[in-house]
Amino acid sequence: MSFDGIVTRSVVHELSNNLINGRITKIKQPYKSDLFITVRANRKNFQLLISVNPSFSRMHLTDKKTENPADPPMFCMMLRKHLEGGFIRAINQQGMERVVTFEIEGRNELGDRSEKQLIFEIMGKHSNVLLVEKQSGLILDAIKHLPPSVNRHRTVLPGREYTAPPAQHKADPLTSDEDEVLRKLDFNQGKLAKQMVDAFTGISPLIASEIVHRAGLGDSRKAASSFTDVMEDIRSHHYRPQMIDVNGKEYYSVVELTYLQGKPRYFDTISELLERFHSGKAERDRVKQQAHDLERMLRNEWQKNKKKLKKLDQTIKKSEKALQSQKFGELLTANMHLLRGGEKHIEVLDYYEENGAQLTIPLNPEKSPSENAQNYFRKYNKAKTSLQMTAKQIRETNKEMDYLDQLIQQIESAAPSDIEDIREELSEQGYIKKRIQKNNKKKKKSSRPQPEKFTSSEGIEVLVGKNNKQNEYVTNRIAHQGDTWLHTKDIPGSHVVIRSDNFGEQTLLEAANIAAFYSKAKYSASVPVDYTIIKHVHKPSGAKPGFVTYDHQSTVFVTPDEDLVLRLRKTD
């Protein structure tokens, strides 16, 4: 992972510069894996994010706004009891390990001085946050409990003594000189990058590969020199926060990565880099966990409808074939005088064909010539009715698949707070059973949907509906008749509204970019986006949620730009 000991050191340095002697004023735990701690320092409010997300464990300053859950987790309540009002006196990293300790001084219920430690262990899926009584070394609580049945050597439970994660017994790269590096590495063995990762604490494969790249094809002494040069920058806190996209895969580092073939994007602080890199990733991971059952159900329904379409197509072909029964009936009627009854077939001149070829018509010998003719006419009428009904079913099935496509896209773009709206819609549409609230408590609903808000570079507000409830609210309730409405052309996506009748081309292109970003074509290039004014947008009677028709539209083509969308998003 990119969050190695070197990144940890850079984050600790940044936090120390901003938070030391700051007062903890607020603690929130909106999600099971994430803590948001507000610190008042140097006449400013800083918000610290500490996340033990299995895939995106990290720590950095953030401007992200989060809602306080109605029922905070017990760990959050414990932190509030012991840490709110306390002062951060020190932030220390354990060597070059990914273990960070916040030394917090406060007062207990009697007003006596109290010292606590908030310890953050960054270990992937085993990451943890622990609150420890400094004097006794006892654990007060942890975000994840680890009983003896899981780990006999290191128990993490309230009342147990805190034990640090097992040491890796690697060398400290910041105190190693060239001779130490030469002793640790076997240059004849090859795979120097892997050897560095195995021999030194806090070095990720990214940094090791960069050191080897800088050394080029030189001798062992040059490789050791390259190593110590990089470590000197880290030791003196000379960082270059950057993110690089290589063929669609993103990497980040606080050390200049010259070996990667991609255009680097630089940031002023490590927190800005981490916020940008993880923006949306952890949220999408959380949504995936919360909405896994919904997405699986929607995809299954979509596949069922696809199979249904295949069967309907087969029905269409059979019905079209049966339509020739009308011709058989008419030819049989015209040649009735040739039949005496009891024939199994009759050959007649097919006057429907230009060449006038002979046509053999099968007959039921047990029926009269007239009854045979009527039987063919009945088959024809049945086939005609079947075609009409099947065509109607195909149209309805296609609409159903478009609706399901739209919901799948909305889940992929949803924030955790949007999932309940989608779940409620699926319940109202009869796809899933309505959830029974525990203790018969009614769900607390906000008075109105909360669409995403953006501000264009010209200062004009742009609204985005990220689910159908928000789409209908944005289009049918908020927007004025002269506002401009945008949607990806023939592609599932969000309703976007420019809240003005007077704006420039820049705002239009930015709003179109937002519409493309919040659509199924998010990762495509040159996405067509239709735009028209609200008075030309209509919701047909009985239509599915979020479905509208529109006319008098124009089309603009844009390529979704995530950086642009993040820059335009309102943070207030």
In a domain, 163, yes or no: no
Per-residue pLDDT, 437: 56
Which has the closest alpha carbon to 298: 444, 429, 443? Answer: 429
In a domain, 133, yes or no: yes
Count how many domains the chain has: 4
Q: Which amino acid is at 76?
A: C
CATH number of the domain that 273 lies in? 1.10.8.50
Domain of residue 524, residue span? 452-568
**Same domain for 501 and 558?**
yes
Q: How far is CA 377 from CA 316, 332, 345, 371, in A?
A: 18, 10, 17, 10
Q: Classify 55 as helix, strand or coil.
A: coil
Q: What tens-digit pLDDT sequence spans the chain (572 residues)?
A: 479 999 999 999 999 999 999 999 999 999 889 999 999 999 999 999 999 988 889 999 998 887 777 789 999 999 999 999 999 999 999 999 999 999 999 988 888 889 999 999 999 889 999 999 999 999 999 999 999 888 778 899 999 999 999 888 899 999 999 999 888 888 777 788 899 999 999 999 999 999 999 988 666 788 889 999 999 999 999 999 999 988 878 899 999 999 998 888 999 999 999 998 887 777 777 777 778 888 889 999 999 999 999 999 998 888 888 888 888 888 889 888 888 888 898 888 888 777 778 888 899 999 998 999 999 999 899 988 989 999 999 999 998 998 999 898 888 878 777 888 888 888 888 888 876 655 444 445 455 788 999 999 999 999 999 899 999 999 999 999 999 999 999 999 999 999 998 999 999 999 999 999 999 999 899 999 999 999 999 999 888 888 999 999 999 999 999 889 988 986 55
In a domain, 302, yes or no: yes
CATH number of the domain that 121 lies in? 2.30.310.10
**Same domain for 340 and 395?**
yes
Tell which of 230, 263, 285 closes a domain.
285
Per-residue pLDDT, 572: 52
Q: How many CB atoms lie within 10 A of CB 339?
A: 16
**Same domain for 558 and 475?**
yes
**Same domain for 388 and 509?**
no
**Same domain for 94 and 221?**
no
How far is it, in rounded angstroms, from Cα 326 to Cα 362?
Answer: 14
In a domain, 154, yes or no: no
In a domain, 14, yes or no: yes
Per-residue pLDDT, 290: 77
Tell which of 265, 285, 305 closes a domain.
285
In a domain, 165, yes or no: no
In a domain, 113, yes or no: yes
Alpha-carbon torsion (528, 534, 540, 545), positive or negative: positive
CATH number of the domain that 329 lies in? 1.10.287
**Same domain for 371 and 462?**
no
Tell which of 260, 285, 310 closes a domain.
285
Q: pTM for the whole thing? A: 0.72
**Same domain for 280 and 298?**
no
**Same domain for 462 and 547?**
yes
**Same domain for 257 and 379?**
no
CA angle 238, 244, 246 (to 5 degrees): 150
**Same domain for 249 and 130?**
no
**Same domain for 201 and 234?**
yes
Per-residue pLDDT, 9: 96
In a domain, 443, yes or no: no
In order, the DSSP letters of 274-331 are: HHHHHTTHHHHHHHHHHTHHHHHHHHHHHHHHHHHHHHHHHHHHHHHHHTTHHHHHHH
**Same domain for 136 and 9?**
yes
